[in-house]
Amino acid sequence: MTQILENVNLKHLNTFGIEAFGKYYAELNSINDLQELIQKKFFVNSDKLIVGGGSNMLFTKNFEGIVLKNNLKGIKVVKEDAEFVEVQSAAGEVWHDFVMWCIDKNYGGLENLSLIPGCVGASPMQNIGAYGVEIKDVFSELEAIEIETGKSRIFNKAQCKFGYRESVFKHELKNKFIITAVTFRLSKNQSSTHLTALLVPN
Ligand SMILES: Cc1cc2nc3c(=O)[nH]c(=O)nc-3n(C[C@H](O)[C@H](O)[C@H](O)COP(=O)(O)OP(=O)(O)OC[C@H]3O[C@@H](n4cnc5c(N)ncnc54)[C@H](O)[C@@H]3O)c2cc1C
């Protein structure tokens, strides 16, 4: 069972370094940690805040609910053929490290998105993008756990309703799901245009 701490300073969890306190705080190191919290009805009648890298949040006051720090780790190839590879990353992986892992393997498609701060699990939230590329261009699917029921669900691209810095998770499904893993369909034949954009920023 993950430890639940009380009155935790969130300063180290947001890149602005703002001092704000979370009434409750827990770290998710496995899906089991999350399922245990759900089964014990820890989220019932409690506000929830899922934190990845904390680079897209601004605390203006203390948070009077439970803060969940997503530490889920792991990157693996789940499918491949001669041209494409599908790579799944757990939500708590640092985004840039994941991009570098793909580049290192010569899997193309995410390189324009290197250096964007944050974790993989937050990337579908706002369909992160840079230099004319958005994750929706190479997104395959994501896995998420419904907070109310603990049920696992797969979302394909259409179900995520991606738009410019938008997704369904910022609107009708806001605070309803915790994204646990994201899968991208990448090219095995690295495109040189992507690399040019990376080297010559505009
Ligand atoms: C200097 C700087 C440069 C940036 N450049 C870009 C850029 O070029 N392009 C771009 O698109 N963005 C950019 N951003 C924005 C930021 O990098 C992205 O929004 C990133 O995806 C945030 O990731 P995070 O892990 O820090 O999210 P957090 O700040 O931790 O969380 C952001 C939101 O997602 C939710 N969330 C986080 N993880 C999960 C999860 N596993 N399941 C469900 N909800 C979750 C949180 O509750 C919160 O609502 C930049 C930010 C900074 C500070």
In the chain, the domains with their CATH numbers are 5-70 (3.30.43.10), 75-199 (3.30.465.10)
What's the 116 CA to ligand 1 centre distance in angstroms?
A: 9
Burial 68-107 (b: 16+ CB within 10 A, else e): bbbbbeebeeeeeeeebbbbbbbbbbbbbebbeebbeeeb
Nearest to 63 by CA among 50, 49, 52, 45: 49
pLDDT 10s per residue in the chain (202 long)? 789 999 999 999 999 999 999 999 999 999 999 999 998 888 888 899 999 999 999 999 999 999 999 999 999 999 999 999 999 999 999 999 999 999 999 999 999 999 999 999 999 999 999 999 999 999 999 999 999 899 999 999 999 999 999 999 999 999 999 999 999 999 998 754 455 445 555 4
Global pTM value: 0.94
Q: Whose CA is nearest to atom 9 of ligand 1?
A: 129
Per the rule left: phi > 0, alpha: psi between -120 and 50, beta: everything else, 145 is beta
CB-CB contact of 116 with 134 (8 Å): no
Verify whether ligand 1 is closer than 6 Å to residue 71 (CB atom). no
3-state secondary structure of 64: strand
Q: Whose CA is nearest to atom 43 of ligand 1?
A: 178
Q: Which atom of ligand 1 is nearest to the CA of 13?
A: 30
Q: Which atom of ligand 1 is nearest to the CA of 15?
A: 53
Q: Which distant-in-sequence residues (6+ apart) come within 8 Å of 194 by Cβ?
A: 108, 109, 111, 112, 133
Q: Whose CA is nearest to atom 17 of ligand 1?
A: 117
